[in-house]
Amino acid sequence: MHELALAEAVIGIASAHAGGRKVTAVYVKVGRLRQVVPSALEFSFELAAAGTPVDGARLEIEDVPAAGACRACERRSELDGFPLACAACGSLDVEVIRGEELLVDSLELEDEVVVSG
Ligand SMILES: [Zn+2]
């Protein structure tokens, strides 16, 4: 249950930032390399939020495509999946520059909106 652990982490962060207020929506960015199943994360989020300030909040998941910088040809390209290969030359010697994110981007609280980096 990879997604349940992630959901609990997201709820922990959101609850801490909410400062006792009720959270109505949580916006998260999830890099594609995290291999998170959005429906599983939503389900886990609903379950784990019960009894917390996040109970009943919407979970908005932004999917962040993976990108890499090739060490062989120095081009940057989107990475479609595993194995991670350069789209330009096919080299596997690629440094991941995007797609490993997992962060709470912002929260919506009852009566006000707070953006927390
Ligand atoms: Zn390349």
pLDDT in tens, the chain (117 residues): 589 999 999 999 999 999 889 999 999 999 999 989 999 999 999 999 999 999 999 999 999 999 999 999 999 999 988 899 999 999 999 999 999 999 999 999 997 655 565
Mean pLDDT of the chain: 92
Q: How far is the CA of 72 from the centre of ligand 1 (A)?
A: 5
CA–centroid distance, residue 67 to ligand 1 (Å)? 12
For residues 93 and 91, give the distance between their C-alpha atoms in angstroms, rounded to a whole number.
Answer: 5
- State in Å: Cα 94 to ligand 1 middle: 8
Q: CA-to-CA distance for 45 and 93, rounded, in angstroms? A: 36
Ligand 1 centroid–CA 92 distance in Å is 8
pLDDT in tens, 75-104: 999 998 889 999 999 999 999 999 999 999
Q: Output the CA 28–ligand 1 centroid distance in Å.
A: 31
Q: What is the pTM of this model?
A: 0.82
CA of 53 relative to ligand 1 center, distance in Å: 47
CB 57 within 8 A of CB 49: yes
